[in-house]
């Protein structure tokens, strides 16, 4: 199951021409998978617990991290021109 971090506005940038452009932390979906066993982890802490467990052969090198990034719409990125 992917770990989802939702998008959020983290500030704004004011350009020389006066436009105000929002700054975003974009939405991401991260999937953590053990390459040897195919096990998919529900969280970073679950993956780290498996790596730290001396009873498993899991190492950090055996973890695959797939990240899907969702870009904001062009409308959101253009900002507003002051009147």
**Per-residue pLDDT band at 65 (split at 50, 70, 90):** very high
Q: Output the CA–CA distances (angstroms, integers) from residue 29 to 6, 33, 51, 60, 78, in the order listed.
A: 9, 13, 21, 20, 25
**Per-residue pLDDT band at 9 (split at 50, 70, 90):** confident
Domain layout of the chain by residue ranges: 3-71
Q: What digits encode the pLDDT tens for the residues 10-54? A: 999 999 998 888 888 889 999 999 999 999 999 999 999 999 999
* Structure token digits, residue 51: 């790596």
Q: How far is CA 9 from the centre of its chain?
A: 14
Q: What is the DSSP letter of 50?
A: H
Q: Residue 42: phi, psi to the nearest 5? A: -85, -20
Give the model's pLDDT for residue 29: 97
Give the model's pLDDT for residue 66: 97
Give the model's pLDDT for residue 83: 63
Q: Is the pTM of this model over 0.85?
A: no
């Amino acid at each position: 199951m992917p770990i989802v971090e939702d998008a959020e506005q983290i500030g704004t940038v004011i350009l020389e021409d006066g436009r105000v452009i929002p700054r975003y932390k974009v939405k991401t979906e991260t999937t953590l998978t053990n390459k040897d066993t195919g096990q998919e982890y529900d969280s970073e802490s679950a993956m780290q617990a498996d790596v730290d467990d001396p009873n498993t052969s899991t190492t950090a090198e055996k973890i695959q991290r797939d990240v899907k990034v969702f870009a904001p719409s062009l409308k959101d990125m253009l900002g507003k021109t002051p009147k």
